[in-house]
Amino acid sequence: MLRDLYKISATLFYILGTSFFIAYILYANLILGLWPSWWMQVADLPLILSAILYGGLSLYLSISKTEKPSTVAAVIIGVPLTALFIFLLLLNFWNVIF
């Protein structure tokens, strides 16, 4: 199941990352008005979440054995990545919260 989640997060990461690259090019060249800027403001959290999932699962799958899952490794990888996502979520909504 983790391999499937890894493949899904990798696909989403590459699609969203490419869309951000294209949106930035369009925004910098003043093409399509404010839509590229809107896309970069709206889809930043899904890109961050897919990047964290992709990176965390990549690290976990590279250090764990396939026969026996390691909960210690999952916690050691998952806790800092969850804290990083919460921190980036707070930065994103800082003006709304405070």
The domain locations on the chain are 2-97
For the stretch 78-88, pLDDT in tens is 999 999 999 99
Answer whether residue 65 shows pLDDT above 90: no
- pLDDT of 76 reads 96
pTM: 0.89
Residue 86 Cα distances to 25, 32, 79, angstroms = 29, 32, 11
Question: In the chain, what percentage of residues exceed pLDDT 90?
Answer: 85
Span 33-62, pLDDT tens digits = 999 999 999 999 999 999 999 999 999 999
More confident residue, 56 or 98: 56
CA distance 24 to 40: 8
